[in-house]
Amino acid sequence: MDNVTHGLAGLLLADATIAAVERRTGVAASRSFRRTAVLLGIAAAELPDADLVYSGAALGMGKLGYLLHHRGHTHTVVFAIVLALVLWGAIMLLRRDARTAPERAPLLLLALAGTLSHLLLDLTNSYGVHPFWPLDNRWFYGDAVFIVEPWLWVAAIPPLLFGPRRPLGKTVLAVALLGILTAAWYVDLVPADVSIVLSVSALVWMTVIRFAKANKRLMCGGLAWIAVTATGFASSRAARSAIESATANSTLLDAVLTPAVANPLCVGALVIERDGATYRVSSATVAIWPAVRSATVCAGGERALEASRTPTIGIGDGLRASSRATTPAIAWSQSWSAPEQELVSMAASRCDVMAALEFMRAPVWERDGRGVIRLSDLRYGFGGDGFADLQFNASPGECPAFVPGWTPPRADVVGR
């Protein structure tokens, strides 16, 4: 998830901690404790992204280092607990007022909840995490929430805005809410009717929270957050079911699913299949409720859908318009295919390729006339110079260092 969303989650947890301490002690929390809880909640919710400090350039691995180490060890339950303890210990050393018995334990729980909330939020999208290392090195993907989801901001900010907050904090929150609503109107990813629903809902929700009892506002915000996330998971599950039905004549290996920004009725999909000896990745748009919004409309209309079926940037000769017919439920766009054995052979003979496959969930590839290999993850585009686009020399060099040993997402193809 984006860092603002992580910060909002940490702030909700901090306010909940303050409220719990006040209920337990029967007195209002001091300004110093409030400040400590807010700083701790936000810092804990952001801390797992500390892997950005060393992933990539710091390890001398370039793009490969980023792919393998961002959302790496710091995004596991083990390290989340360690990071929380370190952060809590630092607070205990620096803030003497936080060492009293009624406050010490709640702050520890806040630190733990904050770091673990980061893992849970990152789990909800299609990038994934592997939280159970070292017991289980597999990636887990929620495929349920876009990486920047406006509905989460709308759910969280009003309860925070009307909480016991200083003017500067209220101003920052108000600007954030206004910013996400404005962006929804100007970003092409959000249709006009969806922007209207989002804006009206934000106004209604703001009014509801404004007149709700003060001790119920945080609960309302938490429930609204859960409702948004649950809707995303329900949308993803329905999309997966539709794809399974549409691909019954082949072996469905995976479906990378991303609900549209602020619109759970539409889900973008990358469908990864084995068809005999052929490996294929197809892009599609799934309509969860075709009678209300068809897949063609979800894809941007007839003209946009037709344009998306015309290959633009290709990987080798495998990219073409999908041969599957568009239905009200699924609009098929492009398809990329190649002999599966090509990927199996590269992974078996090249330790650098195998290392990259510890990240790539929808790998596509080409080998040029000089034998140079280009390997890309289709989740992040076709080739080019994107962060998930790698090139390997024709002659294998030394095996990369600092390879963490994650189970490849496509272990069902290359084994492990």
- Residue ranges per domain, the chain? 3-232, 239-337, 340-414
Integer Cα distance of 169 and 187 in angstroms:
27
Identity of the amino acid at 204? V
Could you tell me if 163 and 218 are in contact, meaning their C-beta atoms sit under 8 angstroms apart?
Answer: yes
Integer Cα distance of 404 and 63 in angstroms:
15
* pLDDT band of 288, cuts 50, 70, 90: very high
More confident residue, 24 or 408: 408
Backbone φ and ψ of 389, nearest 5°: -110, 115
Q: What percent of the chain has pLDDT over 90?
A: 75
Could you tell me if 309 and 283 are in contact, meaning their C-beta atoms sit under 8 angstroms apart?
Answer: no
The encoded tokens of residue 381 equal: 């585009």
Provide the pLDDT for residue 315: 66
Q: Compute the 3-state secondary structure of the chain and give helix, strand, coil in percent, each to the nearest 5.
A: 55, 15, 30
Integer Cα distance of 21 and 23 in angstroms:
5
Among the residue ranges 129-138, 162-171, 255-264, 274-283, the one predicted with the least confidence is 162-171
* pLDDT band of 92, cuts 50, 70, 90: confident
Asked if the peptide bond before residue 134 counts as cis, ω within 30 degrees of 0, the response is yes
- pLDDT, one tens digit per residue, over 95-143 is 766 666 677 889 999 999 999 999 999 999 999 999 999 999 999 999 9
* pLDDT band of 305, cuts 50, 70, 90: confident
The encoded tokens of residue 370 equal: 């000089």
- pLDDT, one tens digit per residue, over 153-163 is 999 999 999 98
Provide the pLDDT for residue 97: 63
Question: What's the rounded mean pLDDT across residues 389-405?
Answer: 89
Cα distance between the two ends of the chain: 29
Question: What's the rounded mean pLDDT across residues 384-392?
Answer: 83
In DSSP terms, 374 is beta-bridged to 366, 391
Provide the pLDDT for residue 415: 84
pTM of the full structure? 0.94
The encoded tokens of residue 270 equal: 């990358």
State which H helix or E strand residue 211 sits in.
Answer: helix 192-211
Question: What's the rounded mean pLDDT across residues 54-77?
Answer: 88
Integer Cα distance of 384 and 69 in angstroms:
22
Q: Is 85 exposed, middle or buried (0-12, 13-18, 19+ CB in 10 A)?
A: middle
Integer Cα distance of 311 and 325 in angstroms:
17
- pLDDT, one tens digit per residue, over 307-363 is 777 765 556 667 888 889 999 999 999 999 999 999 999 999 999 999 999 999 999
